[in-house]
Structure 1
Amino acid sequence: MAVLNIPAEKRQIRDTAEIKAYLAALGLGYEQWEPAQPLPESATAEAVLAAYAADIERLKAEGSYVTADVIDIKPDTPNLDAMLDRFNKEHWHDEDEVRFTLAGHGQFYIHPPEGPVVGVEVGPGDLLVVPRGTHHWFDLLADRRIRAIRLFQDTAGWTPHYTGTQAEVKVAALLAGAA
């Protein structure tokens, strides 16, 4: 279940309906999904996509997504830190970033044009849709693990466009000061 963090306000939201409403006001989508059948964590990507086929097909129709895959990041993933360096700096994309978390945890930071940066901590069952053009960044949490279904509007995948604002550095300093 997601947790919404608003560091500048020292506020946290845990209620699912409140999280969904807050994110919707920012233009983001949030849902919680259950598999059509229970899946072991070791399930193949094909089995995962089959188990969530109805939800995936619905999203494809709603958002013009053309493909879906499964990404599996673990603490022992080769070149993990270099991979994270692509995600953990503020950027935006030409297409939506759609992630459904199957296992592990991550934190999406959303930097709206107006208002404070918002952290969305996702875990198993959480679907987050970050619309194209939205300034954001992502980092793993302490378990350094995430397995997720990704949906794409372009078969070439997404390309990050970095903002260079260093918003992620400012938020990290704010969080460090609160610790």
Structure 2
Amino acid sequence: MSILKLENGQILSHLSDIQRELATLNIQIEHQDLGKSLRFPELLAQDILSQQEKQQILHLYENDFEVLKQKVDYHFYDLLVLHPGSPNLYTLAAAYSRYHTHKDAEALYILAGEAMFGFVQPEGNQVQLLVQAHDYIYIPAEVEHWFSPAASLHVKALRYFTSADGWIPEYTGTRFQDFLRNER
């Protein structure tokens, strides 16, 4: 389940409270246990997946993708697999852990592990959201945010795309407020 930390130190752990707080940005967050993870727990536990294993996971979610595709006009999806030994882990972390926007919406369904997002709210306050297995997040285009794997550096997620270049980050220059360690 998701956990949201506000800039004032308040922690929100009830999904309805998190949804209400992120509604000002039109971000959608849902917890959807689609039940498919029980069919491949050994794959979700592995750090490294072969192309065949990735395709097996993507195939299991094909019908769910078709439903989402009709709602949001997604054109394709892929599987993001990050772990401490990922060759591109630190490059991706450096690229996406700075505040940026995208010209397309960003949507992920977390299969295993966890990740962090930071958002700038309309009044300028920053919030940080931890998403975990079975969380689905939809971030509209042009919403200022950052993304990073959580401390474990393990995350497997389905990523949904409306165009091939829509996820290219456009950096905003907003300074990151590291208030997770600051208790007020």
TM-score by length of 1: 0.88
- Change in Cα spacing, 1:49 to 1:67, as seen in structure 2 (3 Å) is same
How many pairs align? 174
Q: Residue 69 of structure 1: which of 71, 78, 81 is its match?
A: 78
Task: Give the Cα–Cα distance (whole angstroms) in 2 for the partners of residues 35 and 48 of structure 1.
Answer: 13
Aligned residue identity for 1:65? Y
Equivalence for 1:105: 114
Q: Secondary structure at the match of 1:42?
A: helix
73-82 vs 35-44, greater mean Cα deviation: 35-44
38-47 vs 53-62, greater mean Cα deviation: 38-47
Percentage of pairs with the same residue: 29
Task: Give the Cα–Cα distance (whole angstroms) in 2 for the partners of residues 163 and 146 of structure 1.
Answer: 25
Task: Give the Cα–Cα distance (whole angstroms) in 2 for the partners of residues 54 and 36 of structure 1.
Answer: 13
Per-residue CA deviation, residues 108-139 of structure 1 (Å, 9 max, x unaligned), is 00112225211110010001111100000012
Q: Secondary structure at the match of 1:177?
A: coil
On the 8 A contact 2:24/2:122 being kept in 1, the answer is no
Unaligned runs of 5+ in 1: none
Per-residue CA deviation, residues 129-154 of structure 1 (Å, 9 max, x unaligned), is 11100000012221011110000000
Equivalence for 2:29: 30
Equivalence for 1:3: 3
**What RMSD over aligned residues (CA atoms) do the two structures have, in Å?**
1.9
The structural deviation recorded for 1:156 is 3.7
Per-residue CA deviation, residues 81-103 of structure 1 (Å, 9 max, x unaligned), is 12210110000000001011111
Unaligned runs of 5+ in 2: 45-52
Equivalence for 2:16: 17
Equivalence for 1:178: 183
Task: Give the Cα–Cα distance (whole angstroms) in 1 for the partners of residues 71 and 9 of structure 2.
Answer: 35
Task: Give the Cα–Cα distance (whole angstroms) in 1 for the partners of residues 182 and 4 of structure 2.
Answer: 19
Structure 1 moving runs of 4+ over 4 Å:
none
TM-score by length of 2: 0.86
On the 8 A contact 1:104/1:147 being kept in 2, the answer is yes
36-45 vs 153-162, greater mean Cα deviation: 36-45
